Amino acid sequence: MATIYVDGKTYEVNPNNNLLHECLQKGIDIPYFCWHPAMGSVGSCRQCAVKQYKDENDTTGQIVMSCMVPAADGTRISVDDEEAVEFRRSVIEWLMTNHPHDCPICDEGGECHLQDMTVMAGHNYRRFRFKKKTYINQYLGPLINHEMNRCIQCYRCVRFYKDYAHGDDLDVFGAHNHIYFGRHEDGVLENEFSGNLVEVCPTGVFTDKTLKEHYTRKWDMTTAPSICTHCGVGCNTIGAERYGSVRRILNRYNGQVNGYFLCDRGRYGYDYVNSEDRIRTPMMRQENGELESASKELVLNTLKEALKSKKNIIGIGSPRASVESNYALKKFVGSDRYYTGLSDTESKLVDKIIGILKNAPVRSPSLKDIRESDAVFILGEDVTNTAPMMALALRQSIRQEPLKLVDMLKIPRWHEYAVQDTLQQRKGPFFIASVTGTKLDDIATRTYRAESDDIARLGFAVAHILNKDAPAVKKLNKEVKQLAEVIAGALKKAERPVIVSGTSLGNEVIVHAAANVAAALSKEDRRTNLSYIVPEANTMGVGLLGGGSIGDAIRGVKDKKADTLIIFENDLYRRANKSNVDSFLKHFKHIIVVDYMQHTTTQRATAVLPAGTFGETDGTFVNYEGRAQRYFQVYYPEQEIKESWRWLRDATLQAGHNDFKEWQNLDAVVGAINREVAAFRKINEAAPNSRFRIAGLKMSRASARYSGRTSIRSHENVHEQKPPDDPDSPFTFTMEGYSGIKPPGLTNLFWAPRWNSVQALTRFQEEIDGPLRGGDPGVRLIEPAQRFSFSYFTDVPAAFEKRNDEFYTVPLHHIFGSDELSIKAPWIGELAPKPYVLLNKEDAGVKEYNEGDEVEVQLSSGTWKLPVKISDSIPAGVIGIPAGLPGLETAILPGWSTISK
């Protein structure tokens, strides 16, 4: 702790930070542009000027940039000093000389940091009378709009894009007062995190192009804290709605999870909520065989018979449905008749993963832990495509080891350019073993390309080197052995190594190998971080709840004599062979699907009930880390769209079952889970319950300046209706209620007096760049056991041997396209690749295929005609098919296949 004096007042501060950071922390407003807590200070905008004095006798002082001065003990500064005030005012006047007259049509308006700073710095009247500079804009793809006239040259964009996200197609061009921020030519921004430019840029140069399609100002949106539904990372988001459609997703800071950023799949995938394919009304199969809309009463009434005897019912849950809905289904049909809805492979792997995280001497790290790791070993994952934000976290980890040098030289870590000069090109140890090239290869120390069993062999070998108790690998070739030595050496030296693996290759031995490596690295006092990537938002949730896979359901159906099937939010055809699902569904007289999207399974249903997405419902997801996180309904839908568990409650009540009679709201369900499922003992800590109040008030979803309250619906009826109640959460659907700083799990808006932009975030943090006030939301459900029972896995596989007539076919994941939901957003669809089959050069040579040739790939789950792509990096004997792309959803991977022309 150090003491500093600001305008005569004394403050206790952390001397490792700079003055700007500490002043903002203490609630002192200093205007700034270029400083960003995640990216440090560079002193380029000159906006954060304050006056510094040598000692108490110094009355002259000198102007300094507060972001570039350490908050050292005894520092004396003045923010209110007249000269400093005038300096800041004139800086912004200069920045504004060429600024266009755009605010009314600028999408940043109302949440513009430049607007805020202009007001804060006191620049009111334009004196500049000369011509304004203009710039030609660029086309940057379907996600980001470019309006270069509005730039104030703060360099934040390139610092994020190049230095933080390691993108290489956005830069600054030109010289002196002609500098230009953009690409070398028009084109789609290639980095998967480009959407963050929208929040990083303090002006309207980079804005959300998808918001532009239905533009609404920040103050006009109804918002709620949400959780991203597009992968297993579980980034915290803010969903925003107006006029019945979700308009955008913004980042919701969580120091332990996503921090300041989101990936583009998460930011832009929201449009599935507004999609044409949504199910918005109950539907029933009519006499003529068509599925047609019907009233809720009618459908529930018809379901009476189907639901009469529980013994006749089988329930299939889903990793994209909430813990609550899955639990309700399981409770209703009983453990032996409930299936998680995971595929066979996923189910097996997830069970394994949970077992390892609970019992092995390892620890599941948060993204923050990963950002702070100083050595990385990835087994079998293309992280950028399977858990994008984890990839961004991993990118930060390469700095950790070299940062020791920075610390040794006593350079403050926030002093970004000094740090960069010291680091030069130094990178921490980073190893990737994968089937084919990954998007993290550019930062890797070494990469290893091999079939999945061979990747596991490398892992086993590393573990054996680290600890002789771990099984050895037989017949390992020399190169691999040597690589294993290098990796083991680097991991051993590291203080905070992280091992990353996951389910994406569908290979059990990789999961085992990763556990062995992590366990072998662990010492008495230090458990190694081991992170397993899982595919969907609630994969871990259903895993913890437990239940058989879809395959188990299919295989077991004969003995169960069931005639009713209830499916929650799941398209079975994506997870099991088509023919098997077809014959499985034939067993049932009633197939009740509760879902929000139409898909192949809903087409086979006898009754369909409209479930809600994150936009219309509340619930809990458990992310890869084992962190339970609550998402809250964003808006009140026009149609009767409900949580799946509510539909089940209504339907079963109607059918005469009283199981769920007491379930009036979400709290009741959460309470039941809390009581009955050991793994979820802490689920009620994920967020405050519906009785939570501040000063007797509920929390408001709409901002205090939400407009149009008395006219939004006045064309339907001029008499205003009572706003709907929300029994499930402490939120109201209107601006009524508490709108100040809410507890961390309930933050739905970053706004503070004088801070209309997202930069208001500093007011919500306990410590800038640290946890939110009151602690980061979410609760970890999996903590490593005090005493562990672990013996090394010994199932070291034999080396992969290519077959003559068959190819081992692995799924290749794509950030845009592989996710079932985000692909429904047209702009994500535009960025998704077309289906293809990736083939090794050698194999292509033997088969005499050329790039682009159409071939027939025959898997057990079906046959596909795909154009060939030839690659150097995929091993011979292995081919890759993009996972989940439209047209390829039903390909069940991995597996053996044959190819013919």
Partner 1 sequence: MVSLLKSLWYVFLHMFQKRVTVQYPEEKNYLPPRWRGRIVLTRDPDGEERCVACYLCSVACPVDCIALAATEEEDGRRYPDFFRINFSRCIYCGYCEEACPTYAIQLIPDFEMAEYNRQNMVYEKEHLLINGEGKYHGYNFYKYAGLELKNKGKGEGENEAPPVDPKSLMP
- Verify binding: residue 711, partner 1, rule CB under 8 A: yes
Q: How far apart are the first and last CA of the chain?
A: 71
**What token pair was written down for 599?**
């898909």
Nearest to 397 by CA among 361, 417, 367: 367
- What are the phi and psi torsion angles at 21 (to 5°)? -55, -50
- What are the phi and psi torsion angles at 721 (to 5°)? -90, 155
Question: In the complex with partner 1, which residue's Cβ is closer, 211 or 263?
Answer: 211
Interface of this chain with ligand SF4, residues 382 to 401, rule: CB under 6 A: 387-389
Question: In the complex with ligand FES, which residue's Cβ is closer, 37 or 234?
Answer: 37
Q: In Å, what is the CA distance from 897 to each residue of 230, 589, 783, 812?
A: 29, 35, 41, 15
Question: In the complex with ligand FES, which residue's Cβ is closer, 32 or 635?
Answer: 32
Nearest to 617 by CA among 589, 580, 642: 642
Report the nearest approach of ligand FES to the CB of residue 120 (Å): 13
Number of residues lying near ligand SF4 (CB under 6 A): 38
Q: Strand 837-840 vs strand 607-610: parallel, antiparallel, or unpaired?
A: unpaired
Report the nearest approach of ligand SF4 to the CB of residue 526 (Å): 27
Report the nearest approach of partner 1 to the CB of residue 181 (Å): 9
Q: In Å, what is the CA distance from 140 to each residue of 6, 371, 628?
A: 44, 29, 36
Residues with Cβ within 8 Å of residue 549, at least 6 apart in sequence: 339, 340, 342, 343, 344, 346, 347, 348
Question: In the complex with ligand FES, which residue's Cβ is closer, 36 or 247?
Answer: 36
Q: In Å, what is the CA distance from 319 to each residue of 231, 257, 600?
A: 10, 20, 17
Q: How far apart are CA 703 and CA 241, in angstroms?
A: 12
Report the nearest approach of partner 1 to the CB of residue 747 (Å): 22
Report the nearest approach of ligand FES to the CB of residue 44 (Å): 6
Report the nearest approach of ligand FES to the CB of residue 839 (Å): 51
User: Which of helix, strand or coil describes residue 897?
Assistant: strand
Question: In the complex with ligand SF4, which residue's Cβ is closer, 99 or 415?
Answer: 99
Report the nearest approach of partner 1 to the CB of residue 702 (Å): 11
Residues within the interface to ligand FES (CB under 6 A): 20, 32-35, 43-48, 65, 67
Q: How far apart are CA 284 and CA 303, in angstroms?
A: 10
Question: In the complex with ligand SF4, which residue's Cβ is closer, 649 or 824?
Answer: 824
- Verify binding: residue 103, partner 1, rule CB under 8 A: yes
Q: How far apart are CA 342 and CA 339, in angstroms?
A: 8
- Verify binding: residue 698, ligand SF4, rule CB under 6 A: no
Query: Which of the choices ligand FES, ligand SF4, partner 1, none does residue 47 contact, using the CB cut-off of 5 to 8 A by kind?
Result: ligand FES
Question: In the complex with ligand FES, which residue's Cβ is closer, 64 or 362?
Answer: 64
Report the nearest approach of ligand FES to the CB of residue 18 (Å): 9
Q: How far apart are CA 239 and CA 450, in angstroms?
A: 41
User: Which of helix, strand or coil describes residue 11?
Assistant: strand
Question: In the complex with ligand FES, which residue's Cβ is closer, 181 or 332?
Answer: 181
Interface of this chain with ligand SF4, residues 225 to 284, rule: CB under 6 A: 228, 230-231, 233-235, 258, 262-263, 265-266
Q: How far apart are CA 709 and CA 733, in angstroms?
A: 12
CA trace torsion 34, 39, 42, 47 (10° rounding): 20
Question: Which residues does residue 807 pair with via DSSP β-bridges, in sequence order?
Answer: 897
Q: How far apart are CA 741 and CA 249, in angstroms?
A: 20
**What token pair was written down for 185?**
């030519």
CA angle 629, 635, 640 (to 5 degrees): 105
DSSP state of 826: H
Q: How far apart are CA 716 and CA 66, in angstroms?
A: 55
Question: In the complex with ligand SF4, which residue's Cβ is closer, 307 or 389?
Answer: 389
Q: How far apart are CA 261 and CA 192, in angstroms?
A: 11
Q: How far apart are CA 608 and CA 857, in angstroms?
A: 34
- What are the phi and psi torsion angles at 584 (to 5°)? -60, -45
Interface of this chain with partner 1, residues 231 to 270, rule: CB under 8 A: 242-243
Stretch that binds ligand SF4, among 152-160, 337-345, 501-509, 780-788 (CB under 6 A): 152-160
Question: In the complex with ligand FES, which residue's Cβ is closer, 36 or 698?
Answer: 36
Residue from 215, 417, 692, 790 binding partner 1 (CB under 8 A): 215
Stretch that binds partner 1, among 359-367, 480-488, 715-723, 738-746 (CB under 8 A): 715-723
- Verify binding: residue 183, partner 1, rule CB under 8 A: no
- Verify binding: residue 708, partner 1, rule CB under 8 A: yes
Residue from 201, 323, 605, 634 binding ligand SF4 (CB under 6 A): 201
Q: How far apart are CA 33 and CA 44, in angstroms?
A: 9
Question: In the complex with ligand SF4, which residue's Cβ is closer, 232 or 797?
Answer: 232
Query: Which of the choices partner 1, ligand SF4, ligand FES, none does residue 761 contact, using the CB cut-off of 5 to 8 A by kind?
Result: none
CA angle 675, 680, 686 (to 5 degrees): 105
Stretch that binds ligand SF4, among 98-106, 278-286, 317-325, 871-879 (CB under 6 A): 98-106
> Pattern of binders to partner 1 over 721-750, x per CB under 8 A?
------------------------------
User: Which of helix, strand or coil describes residue 541?
Assistant: helix
- Verify binding: residue 636, partner 1, rule CB under 8 A: no
The alpha carbon dihedral of 363, 368, 372, 374 has a sign of positive
Q: What residue type is assigned to position 36 of the chain?
A: H
Question: In the complex with ligand FES, which residue's Cβ is closer, 86 or 351?
Answer: 86
- Verify binding: residue 789, partner 1, rule CB under 8 A: no
Which residue in the shown chain puts its C-beta closest to ligand SF4? 266
- Verify binding: residue 174, partner 1, rule CB under 8 A: yes
Site residues for ligand SF4 per CB under 6 A: 99, 102-104, 106, 108-109, 112, 114-115, 150-157, 181, 201-205, 228, 230-231, 233-235, 258, 262-263, 265-266, 387-389
Q: Which residues are near partner 1 by CB under 8 A?
A: 100-105, 109-110, 130-137, 147, 149-150, 173-176, 178-180, 212, 214-217, 219-220, 242-243, 705-712, 714-715, 717-719
